[in-house]
């Protein structure tokens, strides 16, 4: 449970940093309009902080969950997918704010890597649900 809360704190700090960066970077560059950069903040809060707060609650409820292999794999996989997604969203947002002309290859690479991050995060969610299902089946809740 403590590990999930610590990870949640890290994502909360990253979310706040992402929000401040978005606000200051767009203001510094006199950018008005919408950009993907603004969504980095919410991705870190929702996919990072909230998911791990909920996972901490499940760890408190199911004492065997943190020791389960599927849960440990979830921690690794999900903590690769969410930051990868957010970083590529930040890259996309910075290029939008700066008005940088990207080649088709660079544009596709940014989108592709962000998509891979989403897929990895999705696989992590599936691992979490599988771990919860396995734990709920084997553990008697008082």
Q: What are the domain boundaries of the chain?
A: 2-138
Report, as ranges of residue numbers, the positions in the chain whose pLDDT lies below 50: none
Q: What's the pLDDT score for residue 140?
A: 63
pTM of the model: 0.90
Q: What's the pLDDT score for residue 137?
A: 86
Q: What's the pLDDT score for residue 141?
A: 55
Q: What is the largest CA-CA distance in the chain?
A: 59
User: Residue 109 to residues 10, 23, 89, 92: CA-CA distances in angstroms?
Assistant: 27, 26, 12, 10
Helices (H) and strands (E) in the chain, counts: 5, 0
């Amino acid at each position: 449970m403590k590990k999930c809360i610590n990870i949640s704190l890290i994502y909360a700090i990253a979310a706040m940093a992402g929000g401040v960066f978005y606000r200051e970077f767009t203001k510094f560059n006199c950018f008005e309009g919408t950009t993907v950069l603004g969504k980095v903040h919410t991705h870190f809060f929702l996919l990072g902080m909230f998911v791990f707060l909920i996972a901490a609650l499940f760890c408190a409820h199911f004492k065997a969950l943190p020791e389960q292999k599927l849960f440990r794999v979830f921690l690794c996989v999900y903590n690769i997918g969410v930051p990868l997604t957010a970083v590529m969203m930040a890259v996309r947002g910075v290029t939008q704010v700066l008005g940088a002309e990207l080649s088709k290859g660079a544009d596709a690479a940014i989108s592709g890597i962000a998509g891979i991050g989403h897929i990895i995060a999705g696989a992590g969610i599936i691992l979490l649900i599988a771990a919860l299902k396995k734990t709920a089946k084997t553990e008697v809740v008082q």
